[in-house]
Structure 1
């Protein structure tokens, strides 16, 4: 387990994280700190706790919208997979019919060739 020190709204916090996740945690903390600073600039001094809650709710809202978008894209991808699967089936059916037609034409040509090569009866 690793330890990192992050600063959010001017306060320092020591946090534990999995080995190798240090930069990720520091980046998340920096992003949260930036969000708080944006809100502080827009709303003025309204208290740290309120700013933290507002920033957290804003991020939760963005996460919720991202989850909805991901779910929508997954449904769209599933629809496309079904469409292309149906298309693959239609292609396979068409190829089978085409192969049958070629087989019938081949048989007909062979019959014609045999009849042309047959001895003439007088």
Structure 2
């Protein structure tokens, strides 16, 4: 089991994590610390607990926005995939029609060339 020491709001915390997750946990803590420090700059010293709650709410709001965007993008991808499928189906029908016309023309050309050749 891995461990990291992170600093949030000037205080150090030793945290356990899965082996290999140390860098990720450190980066998350740095993001959280930056949010706490930004709030501290905006609101001043309002207490560590209040700052932590406010930072948690800010980050939860950002997460909600990201999830909503993912849902919108997922819906757009589904629409695009449906459009692609429809286009492919439509093209397949067109290909069949083109093949049929080419076959008809080839048959007609064959009739014409047989009629024009000496027997």
TM-score (norm 1): 0.93
- 5+ residue gaps, structure 2, are none
1:75 is matched with 75
Q: Does 1:62 align with 2:62?
A: yes
Where does structure 1 differ by over 6 angstroms across 4 or more consecutive aligned residues?
none
Query: What are the equivalent positions in structure 2 for 1:1-122 lying under 5 Å apart?
Result: 1-117=1-117, 119=119
TM-score by length of structure 2 reads 0.95
The alignment covers a number of residue pairs equal to 119
Shift of 1:18: 1.2
User: Tell me, what secondary structure is at the counterpart of 1:52?
Assistant: helix
CA–CA separation in structure 2 for the residues paired with 1:46 and 1:66: 28
Question: RMSD value over aligned CA atoms?
Answer: 1.0
Of stretches 51-60 and 104-113 in structure 1, the one that deviates more from structure 2 is 104-113
